[in-house]
Structure 1
Amino acid sequence: MRDLLTVREVAERLQKSEETVKRWLRSGKFPNAYKKTDKQGWQIPQQDLQALLIPSSKPSVKEKQIKNNQSSPPLQNEDTKELVLLAYQAVTMTSPTQTMINILSHIGIKRTLEILLIMQQSPNKVKNPEGFIKKAISKGWTPTTIPIKKERSIARIQQNKHTENRSTLPFYNWLEED
């Protein structure tokens, strides 16, 4: 019996789709799996598969989250909305819309504070806070994410100077000379 399995073989044994197994590979459920080449694909050791099938004595990530949630009482929805409102007002000096409060309270107070910290640390003033927040949520920005500044204005100025130089050349018709 082989020591290594392919994604298809693991999917068949677990009765899951190949995409699910690939997602597990990316998330690190098979720590000893490796990919030699694109043609050969992933090689998953049987020990990793056995470790997945036999529940270990260590609590899983979900079990830890459930335990943490039970130890500290969850904030009530109204409390979360109030905290989100205060944090948003502290950073932007404006009141958020009801949809923005709902979005921010849905993602949780911790993530909301991270996004507002990103907004506050932005080198340029954020002109559209709602768009900024939605983009930060969708792109998964963190306070350690380094923004890449695009120098659009410099390129436009250089292009305008180039076109001005072409247009300033006087037209002189040698054929109509007196």
Structure 2
Amino acid sequence: MTRVASFCLMSWLLIVFPTLSYADGYSTIGGGGGGESKAGNVSLELGGISLLDGERKQLIAIGLGFIFGDDVPSDLLDYPVPHEDYTDLGKRQKGNEYGIFVKYGLELIENNNLFIFGLGGCSFAEEVDLARSNVTGWYYEQSSSTKTYGIFGVGFAYYFKENKKLLQIEYDNRRGITGSIGFFW
């Protein structure tokens, strides 16, 4: 199944499931920066809030993160240096980092709509060995590989039930601090 089809199916399930289970479904968009990636990010999330034990609520969500951490020159040649006179510049990230994460949270006090949550997931980025020719000054990609990172973090969410809005602030090891705003249906 393609990534687009998987995303569409997951989106559909997250919209339909909260409705069928009498939960409030929600979606958010957010952004921030920092963390190990030391770059800006944008995040999209779909989830639901439902009753856990008759009074306290739980928050369950899935999200996608996009970290803008491209760290190679724009004129990079995607093959190794064709001679031996070059300087190795180390490993660098080529392109953006893409991640997927899940959240689970509990309402701190019954009926106050303030949640604390944990999140976990993984992200993927292309890492290249960068070299610069001492002869021409051009940049070369000596080799490349896909790097996988674990994502883990915590945050708070507040659900404005009257006007169907949600505010979140969270921190995770890859994206750093991220703030989000969303709406319910």
Structure number with bigger Rg = 1
From the two aligned structures, give the one with the greater helix fraction. Answer: 1
Q: How high is the TM-score relative to the length of structure 2?
A: 0.20
Which one has more relative contact order, counting CA pairs under 8 Å at least 6 apart? 2
From the two aligned structures, give the one with the greater strand fraction. Answer: 2
Q: How high is the TM-score relative to the length of structure 1?
A: 0.21
